[in-house]
Amino acid sequence: MTRKKTKCILLHPASLTLALLMSDPCMAADELNDKKLPAKNTKEAASVSKTPDTIELKAMTVTGEAVQDPNDPYNESYTVTNSSIATKTDTPIMDTPLSIEVVTQEVLKDQQAFRIQDAVKNVSGVQQIANDGYDDFIIRGFNTTRIGYRNGVRVPLLNLDFANIQQIEVLKGPASILFGRIEPGGVINAVTKRPQEEAYYSLEQRFGSYDFYRTEANATGAITDDKSLLYRLDFSYLDKNSFRDFVFNDRIFIAPSLTWRPSDRTEFNLSYDYLNEDRVFDPGQPAMGGSVAQIPISRNFGQPGLSDHFGSDVIDFNWSHKFSDQWQVRNGVVATFLDEDWNEIYTFFPNDENRTVDRFSWFGGRTTSSQTVYLDLNGKLDTFGIKHNILIGGDYYSLEQDGTATDQFVDTVDVFNPVRSDLDIDALRNGPRGFNNVVENSWYGIYFQDQITLWDKLHILGGGRYDITTSGSGFSGTSLADAHANFTDIEINKFNPRVGILYQPWQWLSVYGNYVESIGAGNQGASISGTPFNPETAEQYEAGFKTELFDSRLTSTVAFFHLTKDNILTSDPVNPNFRVAIGKARSQGIEVDVSGQITDELSLIGTYAWTDTKILQDNSGNQGNRLGLVPLHSGSLWLKYDFQQAFLKGFSFGAGVFAADKRFGDSANSFSDGAYARVDMMAAYKFNIGPTRLTTQVNINNVTDAEYFLLPNDRARNIPAEPLSVFGSIRLEY
């Protein structure tokens, strides 16, 4: 949440009545005590003038902090002070001994973000990678493996639409204690918009370069007069082409949700996300020699007329009940369903002469379903002056995935003078299914956590999680039935602890440290002996400090971390066609994140990351190399100025630079992409037409037309970043 300073004058009862009639935001002193609003300073003011029939009273000036609702659509802050992503409790970030960054709704609007990648560019140590069109990122040197989170619940393979996204949270470092099997770099969590009591409607149309069109509509409010039943409906339609040859993306997204509060202590929430999408698989551009091939960034080695189809459904039901002001229970069930239909021509590594690439067909599909059930009990205790915020909970997660596809050689093309063969698409689509894969993962997890506060300055976080996990897979070159017959799995039981300590010598400064262990999500398959691989594990040491300046309007985090990951798959020295789980890698560095307001007019986001990675143990000849895709230095700076002068009021202007050092394209460090600095700009004008607010806006991305690539950790599919692009929008809110 963000807090806004408010000054109140407490008046004579008659004057107080008049103030209330005039919608004065202040309260009488006893009301302030009942509400338990924090008051920073109180001081005596001048006496109130009186008549002979009145009693002389002293006026009091109270400076306090009123909490702004982050779900308020008119909240224009770049700062959020509370988050639950790290602890599953609504805890001030300043009191949490972990690194947490939040990209607020106002930032998403200012930068016209409609994808995860548009948001996380504002967070240090996070880099997008190319992974066949799925949302995939590097955090603190390690891949998230196409796993995202929606309201703290795992969502595999799903590219989220921003029509119903309130904010993006990034928790850095291992997070197995609350999320089970997960990669150690961190968590990217999308927080969805909630139904609101006050009616709100918005309609926005965006348009831009390369035939970009996006329509977004939102509606929320109360269904019943007592506001116990609330609704929300979010919708978007995306129709965009690309600077890449014959690449397009069509998407429809609908997200209805309901909230029912039968009492002040009980709440039920039901939401449904429906996404239907057609998009073209982009095989990217190959690496030749020590860099990506020097060819036009528009050149595409796929096949015109082909596109993939994706359909997804997310059903989310949860409820909570407060037994008292100190204890509450939360329970939820989330089910996701994803159907994929692949129609692709992809390229393999360049041939020896570094001029041609082989093309292969990929036709087929995959179904993925996952279910999550969780139950949490959260309570607050005070024992001998020591405050406890206790969380006890458990969850169950399961994933089932079946995939089958053709995988056939089709032709060879010259990278510098491509001539595609006439392909019999129907014959390729109906060819033998040489790829058949089955994946099943599940776990039961029990976790506990205690957030201890002593003297209102020392915060200790302790907890752990015990997982009973089962993971397995099966593969066949003949049929899906044979893949199921070849299925093998392994059960791993593991306890992962997490401890942290934070000291707050002054309200504006927190110094913290933590130690965390985790269990990874990867390592599907089996060794040459048929034994399933042991899961990846990781441990992290972190220290840092946080600040809140300018009345908590400007926040910052500086973190120093050392993170190691074990049981990484590497080549089997007996048979290089198989692998063993003995690899090890390290990532360490410094991260700086600053966001908020310097003045009422000037807002900023600044980041910097120094990420030093190294492969410590490997059988593939990569030992001692840097991890692929991770720049040693990266950072950003975004500034926005809101004009307050009468003749310019409503105008805002923003500009920013997003930069990264050289990145190696694979673990072998066989090629790299050079450093880049991308400049973005925006300008907007807001004005009211009666009760309606109209916002017109233009964004120019990559103003200097910097050329760089999203790298995939192999030499075949490097995706050029978007060149100079211009986007406009018109938004009505009422």
Q: Which of 42, 67, 92 is the last residue of a domain?
A: 67
Q: Are 235 and 213 in contact (CB under 8 A)?
A: no
| Tokens 């036709």 found at | 363
Q: Is the dihedral of CA 378, 379, 380, 383 positive or negative?
A: negative
Q: Are 561 and 586 in contact (CB under 8 A)?
A: no
pLDDT at residue 428, as a whole number = 95
Q: What is the DSSP string of 116-165?
A: HHHHHTTSTTEEE--STTS--EEETTEE-TTEEEETTEEEET----GGGE
pLDDT at residue 488, as a whole number = 86
Q: What is the mean pLDDT of residues 40-50?
A: 38
pLDDT at residue 67, as a whole number = 52
Q: Are 96 and 87 in contact (CB under 8 A)?
A: yes
Label residue 211 left, alpha or beta by phi (over 0 means left) and psi (-120 to 50 means alpha).
left
pLDDT at residue 571, as a whole number = 72
35: pLDDT confidence band, cut at 50, 70 and 90? very low
The answer to whether position 74 is within a domain reads no
The answer to whether position 120 is within a domain reads no
Return the SS3 of 21: helix
Q: Is the dihedral of CA 559, 71, 453, 42 positive or negative?
A: positive
Phi first, then psi, for residue 205 (nearest 5°) are: -125, 125
Phi first, then psi, for residue 94 (nearest 5°) are: -65, -20
pLDDT at residue 45, as a whole number = 38
pLDDT surpassing 90 at residue 48:
no
Q: Which of 49, 67, 85 is the last residue of a domain?
A: 67
Q: Are 472 and 532 in contact (CB under 8 A)?
A: yes
Q: What is the DSSP string of 486-549?
A: T-EEEEEEEEEEEEEEEEEEETTEEEEEEEEEEE-S---SB-TTSPBPPPPEEEEEEEEEEEEE
Q: What is the mean pLDDT of residues 606-622?
A: 94
Residues 6+ apart with CB under 8 A from 592: 124, 556, 557, 558, 559, 606, 607, 608, 609, 635
Closest CA to 474 of 575, 369, 402: 402
pLDDT surpassing 80 at residue 12:
no
The answer to whether position 697 is within a domain reads yes
Return d(Cα 595, Cα 605) in angstroms, integer.
Answer: 4
Closest CA to 176 of 568, 540, 560, 546: 540
Return d(Cα 70, Cα 108) in angstroms, integer.
Answer: 13
Q: What is the mean pLDDT of the chain?
A: 89
502: pLDDT confidence band, cut at 50, 70 and 90? very high
Instruction: Give the least confident one: 218-222, 424-428, 572-576.
Output: 572-576
pLDDT surpassing 90 at residue 6:
no
Return d(Cα 293, Cα 286) in angstroms, integer.
Answer: 6
The answer to whether position 118 is within a domain reads no
The answer to whether position 690 is within a domain reads yes
More confident position, 265 or 473: 265
| Tokens 């390290």 found at | 586
pLDDT at residue 1, as a whole number = 46
Q: Are both 444 and 311 inside the same structural domain?
A: yes
More confident position, 412 or 531: 412
Residue range(s) defining the domain that contains residue 25: 1-67
Q: What is the mean pLDDT of residues 49-75?
A: 58
Return d(Cα 575, Cα 691) in angstroms, integer.
Answer: 72
The answer to whether position 91 is within a domain reads no
The answer to whether position 78 is within a domain reads no
Q: What is the mean pLDDT of residues 4-11?
A: 39
598: pLDDT confidence band, cut at 50, 70 and 90? very high
pLDDT tens-place string over residues 82-129: 999 999 999 999 999 999 999 999 999 999 999 999 999 999 999 999
Return d(Cα 571, Cα 580) in angstroms, integer.
Answer: 6
Q: Are 347 and 299 in contact (CB under 8 A)?
A: no
The answer to whether position 372 is within a domain reads yes
pLDDT at residue 64, as a whole number = 45
Q: What is the mean pLDDT of residues 508-522?
A: 92
Residue 230: CATH number of its domain: 2.40.170.20
pLDDT at residue 531, as a whole number = 67
pLDDT at residue 711, as a whole number = 94
Determine the Cα angle at 469 with ends 713 and 317, to 5°: 90
170: pLDDT confidence band, cut at 50, 70 and 90? very high
pLDDT at residue 56, as a whole number = 53
Q: Which of 36, 67, 98 is the last residue of a domain?
A: 67
Return the SS3 of 447: strand
Distance in angstroms between the alpha carbons of the first and the last residue of the chain: 23
Structure tokens at 206: 């965006």
Please tell me the total count of domains within the chain. 2
